[in-house]
Structure 1
Amino acid sequence: MFVNNKVSASERRNGSYASKGCIEPSLRSFFWKKVILTKNGGNIRRAGENQEKEGRKMEKQTILFNLDDTLAYCNRYFNQVIGMFVDQMTTWFDSLTREEIRQKQLEIDLEAISAHGLRSDRFPESFVNSYYYFCDLTGKEKKKSNIEFLRELGFKVFKIPVEPLPFMNETLKRLKDEGHELYLHTGGDEANQRRKIAQLELTTYFDHRIFISEHKDTTALSDILKTIDADPEITWMIGNSLRTDIVPALEKELNAIYIPAEIEWQYNEVEVKVEPKGAYFTLNTLSEVPDAIGHHILKEGRFKNNYDQVYDTDYRKEKEDNLFT
C-alpha cells in the first residue's frame, strides 16, 4: 500500500512520523477526521459511512480503468489454452520441445498485433500459423482436420466465464460513491469485450462511459481524452499494461497507477522512458487505489470547499490510535 509504515500514537502526536513516509503533519487533523483507516479481516477499509457528508469534499477525478488483468483475470485463461495447444503439438511433432512451440506461437501472435491490433481472431490464427510453420520445417503434411481442431481450440478462450479480480466491486463502488467519474478503456474487439462487461455487470459503475480499442495506444487514449474533455491534472489511468495503459497515460501527462498482473503477457512489458508530470504509483491490488488517489488529492490540496481544521480533541484522541494499526 502507498502508506505501509506502522507508527506509534506518540509519534503521530509529535509529528516525528513524517520522516517515515507517512502522512504529513499538516494533513493530520483532516485525515484523522475524514479518512481514518482500520483493519478488518486483514484488509484495509475506511471507518465511517458518512465522511462525504462532513467537511470539505475531494475534487472529482476522472478515472479510466483497463479491463483485462486490471479488473478481471485474462492471461491465466490464455495460458491454459496455450498449454493445451502445446500438448497437442507435441503429439504431432515429437522432435520439438515445448519451449520451441511456445516461443513460435508467441512470436506469430505478437506480429499479428502489429498488423491487426487486439482482434480476437488473431489468437486462434497464431495456433494455425504455428502449425503451418512447423509442418514446413519438418516436412509434414498439413491436415485440414488438424487446422480446424487448432482454430476451434484457440476460440475456446473466449468462451471461458470471466472472473473479477479481488476487490473489483468494492473498489469501483467506493470510487463511484466518492463522486469520481469512472471510465472503462479496454483493448480488444467489440464482441469479446462486451461479453466480459456484461458478465461482470460493469455498467453498474461505468454506465455508457466505455471505450473499446483494437489498437490501444497513445492515439486511442488521446481521442478518448478529447471526447470526454478531460483535464490531465485530475485524470487517472489505471492498468496492468506498461505498453497500453501506463506509457500512453504518461505521454498524455495524466496521473497513472500501475498494478502488475499475476501473469503478464510479454506484449505488455516495455521500458517506461517517459518522465511523469503528475502522480505515478505502483500498487499491489485494486483495494489500494482509492486511498492512493485520496492521499494524492490531500497532498495537492484539491477540495471543493473549506473545512474547519479545529474540532473536538477528545474525538481526535479516541480515533488516532486506529490510524494505520
Structure 2
Amino acid sequence: MINKEKIKVIAFDADDTLWVNETYFREAENQFASLLSAYETENKIHQELFKAEIRNLPLYGYGIKGFTLSMIECALELSNQQLPPKILNQILEIGKDMLEKPVVLLEGVITVLEALKDQYKLIVATKGDLLDQEKKLAKSGLLHYFHHIEVMSEKKENDYQKLLNHLDIAPEAFLMIGNSLKSDVLPILSIGGSAIHVPFHTTWQFEEVKKTPADVQYPTLNNITEITALL
C-alpha cells in the first residue's frame, strides 16, 4: 500500500496525532451543557451546539475561538436571548481555559520523529486557528523536527494539491499521517499520495466517515510507533 522507496516527505497532522486535543473539546462541551441545563436537556444542548459549530464553520473556520463563539450563539438561542452576563462570562472562561491547556504529547511521538528525521523531510500539515496552532507547536518542543509548518483552513484535495505544489513534490513522494480519515487520509489518497491512519480514542462528529470506498487502501495502526516498522 505504501511504496516506501518513493516517499521523500512525511506530513503529520497535529491535533490528536502529535498531541491531545479532542479530549479538551469534549470536556468543554460537557461544561457548557451543564451551564445551560436550566434551559434544555444536556443531550439537546449538545445537538444544538454541534449545529451552531457546523453552521459557523464557513465564517469562523476550525479551532477554539470559533468554538467559543458558537457556544455563545447557542447559549443566546437556548435562553431566548435572555442569557445572564454571569453565564456569558463563564462560557468565555471555558474558551480561555482551552487556549491555555498544556500540550500533552501522545505516546511514542518523539520516538517516531527521532527515527524518521534523518531519512525524510518532516512537515506538519494541520488545520485550525493559526495563532493557536503556532502556540501549541511552540509549547510542544517539536518544532526543530519539522522543515515546514502548514496551517490550513481546510484539508481537502485541492488544499493538499496546493501544499504539494508549494513543496514542489509529486504526490507519490508524499505520505500523510493523521487520526482523521476525512481530513488526513482520504483526500491525499484521492490525489495519488499515501496515508497512514492512526485513530485517536475520540473523534469529532464532523470528522467521522461512515463508509470508505472499497477500493481505497491504507494502513490503520494502533499506535504511532508502529509507523517505523512500515517504513
TM-score (norm 1): 0.66
What CA distance in whole angstroms lies between the structure 2 residues aligned with 1:156 and 1:114? 24
Return the match for 1:199 from 139, 155, 159.
139
Return the match for 1:219 from 148, 158, 165.
158
The answer for the alignment partner of 1:167 in structure 2 is: 108
The answer for the alignment partner of 1:123 in structure 2 is: 67
1:1-325 alignment runs, 5 A limit = 61-90=8-37, 92-93=38-39, 96-136=40-80, 141-177=82-118, 179-207=119-147, 209-270=148-209, 271-273=211-213, 275-276=215-216, 280-292=218-230, 294=231
Deviations 1:218-249 (A, max 9, x none): 22211110011122223111111112111211
Structure 1 consecutive aligned stretches of length 4 or more whose deviation exceeds 6 Å: none
TM-score (norm 2): 0.90
Counterpart contact for 1:250–1:275, Cα < 8 Å: no
Quote the sequence identity (%). Answer: 27
What CA distance in whole angstroms lies between the structure 2 residues aligned with 1:199 and 1:275? 40
CA RMSD of aligned residues (A): 2.1
Counterpart contact for 2:7–2:172, Cα < 8 Å: no
Shift of 1:142: 2.9
What is the aligned residue count? 228
Shift of 1:116: 3.0
Counterpart contact for 2:64–2:95, Cα < 8 Å: no
1:291 maps to a residue whose letter is A
Deviations 1:121-156 (A, max 9, x none): 2111121111112112xxx72333322321232232
What CA distance in whole angstroms lies between the structure 2 residues aligned with 1:250 and 1:116? 27
The answer for the alignment partner of 1:317 in structure 2 is: none
The structure with the largest alpha-carbon Rg is 1
Counterpart contact for 1:242–1:269, Cα < 8 Å: yes
What CA distance in whole angstroms lies between the structure 1 residues aligned with 2:14 and 2:215? 25
Unaligned runs of 5+ in 2: none
What CA distance in whole angstroms lies between the structure 1 residues aligned with 2:30 and 2:55? 20
Shift of 1:82: 1.5
